[in-house]
Amino acid sequence: MNREGLTRMTRVEVVVAGSDSHPVREVFRSTGATGFTSLSGVSGLGHSGYHQGRLIFNEQDALELLITVVPDEQLDALLAGLKPILDSSPGVMFVSETFVSRPEYFS
Amino acid sequence: MNREGLTRMTRVEVVVAGSDSHPVREVFRSTGATGFTSLSGVSGLGHSGYHQGRLIFNEQDALELLITVVPDEQLDALLAGLKPILDSSPGVMFVSETFVSRPEYFS
Amino acid sequence: MNREGLTRMTRVEVVVAGSDSHPVREVFRSTGATGFTSLSGVSGLGHSGYHQGRLIFNEQDALELLITVVPDEQLDALLAGLKPILDSSPGVMFVSETFVSRPEYFS
């Protein structure tokens, strides 16, 4: 595993209420993600809460941060699958570049 | 939400003792961040601990990882606001590029 | 701490079973990382689980997400140190670019 051995992938992170975690995982799976990492102990406020007097999240909500990593060519399907969930439920999504050592695990 | 619909933003992550979480959130809010995500169950050692025999964090400390996302033009104000906290308290900060699907949530 | 004051570093995140956390921390330390952040409350499925009928992680496993940040020139040693752990145990690793305000903390 040297630096040349790293492969560029796309990391998608979604913060949703715990009750929306299952549909997010289903989208990950059905659009070809080979796995995910889930973090509990997550809370949040906003986004848009401060500015518009409307909270997307209430600080008491038990939220979940779900992380998956996909090859770039799977990103569009993943984003399309997440859109209905994020359109109808509170949630935020972050997409970023990452590098992995075992690309075969993710595709 | 296709790939072209993603907007580049700046992600700022701060790891601080739980007792410093409130001032960090206040800086987020006062410099225009529209929300944040907070993770508990965080511990840490260093940075600088290994090399200088001085621990920034003690592994027993209950730490918090706070994440916010701002448009690039708000970054300077946010960093300026965080500086006094990070200068006077143990803490680390990571700044990275991220892409979001709903830029209006963050500004 | 203005934007020009930020320094580019490399962020390495490793998700492993809690029982593999100690060896990962030892690699961080022995290859020159000056600290780490650890997150508990982590679970996960895959990667490769969905596709190959073999779970890398079982959803019941208590996992740990370990984050460290190193100067680019230390990355090869860090990756070489992590390779035997990741080759013999379930785990995923993400490498990404990050910017920090206090580079002297990390080297």
CB nearest to B3's CB, from A48, A76, A83: A76
What is the ipTM for the molecules in this complex?
A: 0.84
Q: How confident is the model at residue B49 (pLDDT cuts 50, 70, 90)?
A: very low
Lowest mean pLDDT of B28-32, B44-48, C96-100, name the range. B44-48
| Residue C36: pLDDT over 50 | yes
Q: What is the pLDDT of residue A27?
A: 96
- Taking an 8 Å cut-off on Cβ atoms, the answer to whether C46 and A105 are in contact is yes
Q: What is the mean pLDDT of chain B?
A: 82
> What percent of chain C shows pLDDT beyond 70?
79
At C19, the pLDDT band (50, 70, 90 cuts) reads confident
Q: Can you give the pLDDT at residue C57?
A: 57
Question: Is residue B30 a contact partner of residue B80, using CB atoms and an 8 Å limit?
Answer: no
CB neighbours (10 Å) of residue A87? 11
Per-residue pLDDT band at A97 (split at 50, 70, 90)? very high
The pLDDT, as a whole number, for residue B3 is 64
Question: Number of C-alpha atoms within 13 angstroms, CB side, residue B86?
Answer: 20
Residue C56: the pLDDT is: 54
Task: Return phi, psi of residue A76, to 5°.
Answer: -60, -45
Determine which of B12, B101, B104, B107 to mutate to test the interface with A (most A C-beta atoms within 10 Å).
B101
Average pLDDT over residues C69-97: 91
Cβ <8 Å between B92 and C39? no
Query: Is residue C59 over pLDDT 70?
Result: no
Provide, rounded to the nearest whole percent, the portion of chain B with pLDDT above 90.
48
Q: Residue A11: pLDDT band by 50, 70, 90 thresholds? A: very high
Question: Does A103 reach chain B within 8 Å, measured CB to CB?
Answer: no
Tens digit of pLDDT for each residue in A43-65?
Answer: 887 765 443 334 455 555 688 99
Q: Is C1 on the interface with B (CB under 8 A)?
A: yes
Instruction: Please give the average per-residue pLDDT across C7-15, as a whole number.
Output: 94
Q: Long-range contacts: B72-75, Cβ < 8 Å, 24+?
A: B72/B8, B72/B9, B72/B10, B74/B31, B74/B32, B74/B33, B74/B107, B75/B10, B75/B12, B75/C3
User: What is the pTM (predicted TM-score) of this model?
Assistant: 0.88
A92 versus A52: the higher-pLDDT residue is A92
- Most confident option among A77-81, C3-7, C48-52, C90-94: A77-81
